[in-house]
Amino acid sequence: MSWVKICGLTSPAAVDAALEAGVDAIGFVLSPSPRRVDPRTAARLAAPARGRLELVAVTLAPTQALIDAVLAEFAPDVLQADLADLAGLTLPRELGLLPVLRAGAAPPATLPARALIDGVRGGSGEPWDWASARELARRTQLVLAGGLGLASVAGAIAAVRPHGVDVSSAVEEAPGIKSPAKIRAFVAAARAAFEALDPAAASR
């Protein structure tokens, strides 16, 4: 427990803030969104963080052509996409995967080893039902997203006991524009909440 990801980065300042805050992963959106960047821009923005944390390519209903371009030009550590979409792609074995489960859809009987749960629409800030999320957290390394912010992250972590948390819109000054101060505050709040559950978690 205590994995923290900041998603939808679009500027060097946001990447620097995430690094300074000590996050475990940063995400770059490569599908239609106010936070969309192209694969070459993602690679350029991610350069200072490469090898220091997980670089996540975030996609929605990606084509094989997009994935091929992302792998060639960005070379992420992890691909994030809806679980059903991942099944239709040809991917290298060494690529990490972060399958997304959506609110309102029944989870599969067999869950992947790690999964992210999000709202019906990614980046919308729509929350999950924390009781159902906690049940999933007992069955997989669950990354909690959707509806998280500085005021809610501690309560969500206490209620769900996830492996990690992921935030995007709640740490922005405007759609697609991250606030370094909000990033630092969110990460500090998340770390404190994880530490309250397990004092050893924050030091591992």
- Give per-residue pLDDT as tens, 139-195: 999 999 988 999 999 999 999 999 999 999 999 999 999 999 999 999 999 999 999
pLDDT at 128: 67
Comparing C-alpha atoms, which of 116, 124, 168, 183 is closest to residue 144?
116
Enumerate the domain spans of the chain: 3-198
Tokens 């963080």, located at residue: 49
pLDDT at 39: 98
Question: Mean pLDDT for the chain?
Answer: 92
pLDDT, tens digit, for every residue of 6-63?
999 999 999 999 999 999 999 999 999 999 999 999 999 999 999 999 999 999 999 9
How many other β-carbons are positioned within 10 Å of the β-carbon of residue 150? 15
Which of the four pLDDT bands, split at 50, 70 and 90, describes residue 127?
A: low
Q: Which residues, other chains included, contact 100 with Cβ-Cβ below 8 Å and sequence gap of 6+?
A: 80, 81, 82, 83, 115, 116, 117, 118, 122
Comparing C-alpha atoms, which of 39, 114, 36 is closest to residue 72?
39
111, two tokens: 């869950």
Which of the four pLDDT bands, split at 50, 70 and 90, describes residue 121?
A: low
At the topology level of CATH, where does 3-198 sit? TIM Barrel (3.20.20)
Is the per-residue pLDDT at 125 higher than 70? Answer: no
pLDDT at 104: 72
pLDDT at 202: 47
Which of the four pLDDT bands, split at 50, 70 and 90, describes residue 204?
A: very low
